[in-house]
A = this chain, B = another copy of it.
C-alpha cells in the first residue's frame, strides 16, 4: 500500500479551466487545496492557438498566457498545484484516498476535473499543425477562417453541425467521408442535418476518401486525400481542417470507483455530486458538460463544484 503523506480538505484532479476555477474558490474559502495535473496546466485549451471568447479578456490571448494568469491567481489564493498522475481514487466514509505513483494523499472532498481529449487525426502533419490550421473545435476557431477554405473530417451529427457552422465564416467547406455516397453507413448524422448540409451552396462532400496527410509549413496549405477505391492520392488546397471523430474523457483511472456512463463520462446530479458523498465532478469529463466543450462553461462548473464541496465540508 502506498504511503499516505498528507491530508487536504480538497484534492482537485486536473488543472484545466474547471479544476483551476474550483481551486480559486476552495483556496479563497481557506480550504487546504491540492491540484494534481499530469500534464501542462490548461487542459484542452492548450490545443487552441488564440483565445478570444474567455469573458473579460478584451484582447485575444494565448492559452499559456491565460493559464499563467490562472496559476498566479490560484497560488496567490493558497492552493498548491503539483505535477503528478492520479492512478486511482479510493472512496472512504470520512476521507478519501487519492493514489499517485509514489505517494497517496487523503482528501475530505475531491473535485474530479480530468477533462477530455478529442480523438486525434494521426496522419502525417496533423500533430505538427495543430493550432496552426488543424482544429478540433469549430466553435472555438471557426471565427479565424473568415473567407478561407476548410475541410471537415467526420460526418456524424457534430461533424455536420460544425460544417454548417463553418459556412458562416469560410468560403468553402469540404466534408471528407470514408464511405461511398450510396453506402448507408456513409453519414451517421440525422436526416435533417444531412439534407441541410447536402443543399448548402458552400458545402461539398468528398466521398470514399480518407486523409493521407496535412500539408503546410507554418500553417495548413492543403490536405492530401486517399481515394479508398483506387488508393490514388489527390491534393485539395485548404487553409484549415476541422477534425470531428469523437472525444475521450480522461476517466480510465476512475473505473471501478466512481460511476461512469457507457462512454466513460462521470455521472453527477445537477449539483455536480457523484454518487459518492464528498466527490464532485466538473468540466468536459462530466456528462452534460461535454456537449459544449467550452472553457468558460467548464470554469462555471468548477465554481459550482467548489461551492457544493464547501457546503459538504461545512456540514
Contact = CB atoms under 8 A, between A and B. Distances in A.
Interface of A: 17, 20-21, 24-25, 28-30, 52-58, 66, 68-70, 72-73, 76-77, 139, 142-143, 161, 164-165, 168-169, 192, 270, 288, 292, 294, 296-304, 307, 310-311, 314-315
Contacts of A56: 54, 56-57, 66, 69-70, 73
Contacts of A294: 303-304, 307
Nearest to A143: B28
- Which residue among A25, A53, A69 has the maximum number of chain B CB atoms within 10 Å of its CB? A53
- Which residue among A66, A288, A299 has the maximum number of chain B CB atoms within 10 Å of its CB? A299
Given A55-B70, A164-B314, 19 more contacts: A17-B55, A21-B55, A21-B296, A28-B143, A29-B165, A30-B143, A30-B168, A30-B169, A52-B73, A53-B303, A58-B69, A58-B73, A58-B76, A292-B307, A296-B296, A296-B299, A296-B300, A296-B303, A300-B300
A303 B292 contact: yes
Contacts of A52: 28, 73, 77
B70 A315 contact: no
Contacts of A29: 139, 142-143, 165, 168
Contacts of A314: 161, 164-165
22 contacts: A21-B55, A24-B53, A24-B55, A25-B53, A30-B143, A56-B57, A56-B66, A56-B69, A57-B69, A57-B73, A58-B69, A58-B73, A58-B76, A139-B307, A161-B311, A165-B314, A292-B307, A297-B303, A298-B300, A299-B299, A300-B300, A300-B303
A21 B311 CA distance: 27
Contacts of A304: 292, 294, 297
Contacts of A17: 55
Nearest to A65: B56
A123 to B, nearest CB: 29
Contacts of A139: 25, 29, 307
A168 B165 CA distance: 48
A30 B170 CA distance: 12
Contacts of A165: 29, 310, 314
